[in-house]
Amino acid sequence: MVGAVTVANLKKELEHLFPGKWLSGGEVGRALKTGVEQIDFGRSAGLLKRRVTEWVGNSSSGKTTVLRSICANWCATGLNVVYIDTFDRLLASDWCFLNNAKDEKQGKFWVLRSNIDTAVKRDSVRDYVKDSLWACEQLIRSRVFDVVILDLGERNIITSNIYARLQRALERSKATLIVLKDDDSSAQSASWGTNSRLSFNFARPVHFELGLTGHSDDIATIMPTIKGSILRDGMAENLEVSVAPYVQNRLFTHPQIPDRSTSKNRA
């Protein structure tokens, strides 16, 4: 057993030094790289295709920041991603940059919303989670998307029967399913039917880098430091990631405050 673990670790080290030359065909086909070194070359070696991955963290933990950066990497490599926004929490202004590229080979980022504001007026007993789970299964079965993201917010309980249905759909597709949850990032176990679990929380220090926006070297971009952990097959590994947030600083985007020091009657 020790020898097998040593060989597996050696293969990962060689893959890190010589990408694409040491992993077997089966391993290459199963792994979905994220573009984040700490995830791709750690114990997890990326996310597994045709499997369920939990993506968890408390509110303002940084989990969405990391995921948004990874989605940008996926779209840049031609992968199609769909985000199921169960409770209409996604801000379009934070994600619209993903579809701004003019390259036809660029993958697309799609969002499926529940339209809660409209639906509440029409049907107050609608089960949004049930609708999202049904939509998730259909999108996986369509075989159109490489990554399906299911945002469950605080409603993070899925029955074993639903997980089994989603897993059967994944086995007949090419997709990876990410279940996004507002959950306690300190939890030590993944939900039933989940292949791996990634949890996140913000950490200090937050640092700045110049010139990332492409406009001027004088414009600083906030680069948050996000700590987390990866749990797979009962084994955990800590990670620390610094990614560009891709979100404008809204503190300085409000209209200019009018100057009221001048009399209104002044000509």
Q: What is the pLDDT of residues 72-131, one digit of tens each?
A: 999 989 999 999 999 988 888 888 888 776 777 789 999 999 887 665 555 566 788 899
Tell me what pLDDT residue 232 has.
Answer: 76
Query: Can you tell me the distance from the alpha carbon of 31 to that of 176, in angstroms, rounded to the nearest whole number?
Result: 10
Query: Can you tell me the distance from the alpha carbon of 148 to that of 140, in angstroms, rounded to the nearest whole number?
Result: 7
Residue with tokens 């789970």: 133
Cis preceding linkage at 255, omega within 30: no
Question: From the DSSP assignment, how many helices (H) and strands (E) are in the chain?
Answer: 8, 10
Coil, helix or strand at residue 176: strand
User: Is the pLDDT reported for residue 136 higher than 80?
Assistant: yes
Strand partners, 235: 232
Predicted TM-score (pTM) of the model is 0.72
Q: What is the pLDDT of residues 200-247, one digit of tens each?
A: 776 655 555 555 444 445 555 556 667 777 777 777 777 777 666 665
At 117, which helix (H) or strand (E)? helix 116-122
Determine the residue type at 218.
D
Average pLDDT, the chain: 74
Domains (ranges, CATH) in the chain? 45-202 (3.40.50.300)
Both structure tokens of 177 = 């399913």
User: Is the pLDDT reported for residue 178 higher than 90?
Assistant: yes
